[in-house]
Amino acid sequence: MRIGAHVDPADPLAEAASRAAEAVQFFLADPQGWKAPVPRPDAERLRAAEVDLYVHAPYVINVATLNNRIRIPSRKLLLAHATAAATIGATGLIVHGGHVNAGDDLAVGFDNWRKTFAYAAESGGFQVPVLIENTAGGDNACARRLDALARLWDAIGEYGVGFCLDTCHAHAGGEELLGLVDRIKAITGRIDLVHANNSKDAFGSGRDRHDNLAGGTIDPDLVVAVIRAAGAPVIVETPGGAVRQGEDITFLRDQLGAEAPAA
C-alpha cells in the first residue's frame, strides 16, 4: 500500500523524501485561481521518479453548476490539468464533486458532469484518470451524501471515472465511516485513492477542517479500517508540514503493518 502526503509543489520529490512518502499530491496551479498550469521544468525528473504522483485540481473548479460562467471555464481548466498531469506522469487527477446553487435542480448538475466527460471525449479524453472526491459541505453537493453519489455515477459511470474517498469529508459530511467503503463500492465499483484525514469538526457538521490522524473527532482506528477496506493508495492532507505529516504516515504504516520504503 503506497502512503504519502499532500505537499508544496515547488519540489515534490524532496517533500516526499522528507516524509519517507511513497506518494505525493500537489497542485499544478493556484488552487484558488483560474490560471491554467504552466509546463514544469522538472517534468522529466518527476516522470522518472519512483514516487507516485497525484495532482489535485483547483478548488474553484465546479463543473456541476448551472452558472455557465463558472461551468464552462471549469471543464476547460479540468481538461488542462489532466493534460498537464500527464506530462509529469501523474497517476490521477483529483477533483471535488461540485455542487449546484440553492434552488437549482441537482439533476442538471449530474448532467453537467456527464457533459464534462462528453466534452473531454471530443478533445481526445482526459489524459490521466479523473478521481472525483467526496466533499464535506453544502445541501446541493454532487458527492457529499451517498444518495447523491449514486445519481452522479448513474450519469457518468460509463466514462470509467475514478473515486477518491476523503475520511474527513465523509465524517463531517454525515456519512458513517463504519462500512462506508462497501457502501461506496456498491455505487462506484472502485476506490482509487483515500485521503486519510481526521476532522476538527463534529460528525455531520458540514465543515471541512482537516486534523492530524491522532487528533480530531474521528476514532483513528476507523480511518485505518477504511484504508484497509479500500485497499487503495493513501494521501494524508493533514496540517503541520513534513514533521506532523511524517508522523501521520508512520502511524498508518504501524497500524497497517506496512514497511517504510528503503531510504
Residues that bind Zn ion (CB under 5 A): 166, 195, 237
Nearer to Zn ion among residue 99 and residue 195 (C-beta)? 195
**H or E element that contains 164:** strand 162-166
Please, what is the minimum distance in Å from the beta carbon of residue 170 to Zn ion? 10
Nearer to Zn ion among residue 104 and residue 237 (C-beta)? 237
The residue type found at 223 is: V
Nearer to Zn ion among residue 38 and residue 146 (C-beta)? 146
Please, what is the minimum distance in Å from the beta carbon of residue 193 to Zn ion? 9
Nearer to Zn ion among residue 84 and residue 143 (C-beta)? 143
d(CA 125, CA 78): 11
Cβ contact 235:23 at 8 Å: yes
Phi, psi of 72 (to 5 degrees): -65, -50
Please, what is the minimum distance in Å from the beta carbon of residue 98 to Zn ion? 14
Please, what is the minimum distance in Å from the beta carbon of residue 48 to Zn ion? 27
Residue at shortest CB range from Zn ion: 195
Which residue do the cell numbers 455557465 mark?
68
CB contact set of 210 (below 8 Å; sequence gap of 6+): 168, 197, 198, 199, 200, 237, 238, 239
